[in-house]
């Protein structure tokens, strides 16, 4: 599995844990870390999830979008 594939897998796993309420706030820091790694290595637009937001949010990789969200 490539590093890119592993990051996307980690993103999906953490999203599932966060959205299912399985782990609460303790998963947000690792999730933001994974999003930050993706932001540095990918180009294009990527969706992400946030507790209490019923729809996906999007950021442009390689820009200040994710930093502004943080």
Phi, then psi, of 19 in degrees rounded to 5 = -70, -25
Work out the end-to-end distance of the chain between its first and last CA atoms, rounded to an integer number of angstroms: 29
The more confidently predicted of residues 69 and 11 is 11
Domain range for 9:
3-69
57 Rama class: left (phi>0) / alpha (psi -120 to 50) / beta:
beta
**pLDDT above 70: percentage of residues in the chain:** 96
Tally of domains in the chain: 1
Q: What is the pLDDT of residues 20-52, one digit of tens each?
A: 877 767 778 999 999 999 999 999 999 999 888
What is the reported pTM?
A: 0.86
What does the alpha-carbon distance between residue 46 and residue 60 come to, in Å, rounded to a whole number?
6
């Amino acid at each position: 599995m490539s590093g890119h594939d592993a990051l996307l897998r980690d993103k999906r796993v953490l999203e599932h844990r966060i959205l299912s309420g399985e782990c609460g706030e303790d998963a947000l820091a690792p999730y933001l870390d994974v999003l930050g790694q993706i932001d540095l290595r990918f180009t294009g637009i990527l969706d992400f999830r946030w507790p209490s937001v019923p729809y996906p949010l999007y950021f442009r990789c390689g820009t200040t979008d994710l930093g502004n969200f943080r």
